[in-house]
Amino acid sequence: MGKLVQVATNTVSSPVSSVTLTGIDSDDVYMLTISGAVPTSASDGKIRVTKGGTPQSDSEYDFAFKGLRTGTTFTNLSSTNEADIRYIGGWSTVSTSSVGGNAIVYLYNFNSSSEYSFLTSETVTMWSGGTLGPQGGGVHTVASASDGIQFFYTSNLTAGTFTLYRVV
């Protein structure tokens, strides 16, 4: 069983547009935890990789998730050639009255300069309409090293704790 070594953390207590965590510098698997992420208005949680500390907003992201919901049927959520990976740590129907989005995101190949950076994610969000849980993954289809991750909503982020770990 692996151990977790904390690389970076950020706790949001007042509105910000995004949280960026860097420090990926080895070929290990990394894990991002998101706890209690809350947007200022209904919004999707989104992720971008960083290269040299700068979030990559190119249209090189592909993702696919199964939307698990308690109040209705499952949904398939996927897209290609997007500017980010969506449905992580939140959902478009999450309101500011929610208790926040939570996720565990595993990051693979981030330090490799010859492979794509990809991730898998398990998210759960409790809100007035029930429980939402997108499960899936995404990839940044550029073969170059990534050193971190940026998390944001379409609206501002008002709360949450974000921690990046190296799995050893």
Domains in the chain with CATH codes = 4-167 (2.60.120)
Distances (CA, A) of 58 to 23, 123, 140: 21, 24, 9
Q: What's the confidence (pLDDT) of residue 85?
A: 96
Distances (CA, A) of 1 to 4, 26, 168: 10, 19, 9
pLDDT at 67 over 70: yes
pTM of the model as a whole: 0.92
Q: Comparing 10 with 98, which gets the higher pLDDT? A: 10
Q: How far apart are CA 8 and CA 33, in angstroms?
A: 11
Name the maximum alpha-carbon separation found in the chain: 44
Cβ–Cβ < 8 Å for 152, 12: no
pLDDT at 32 over 80: yes
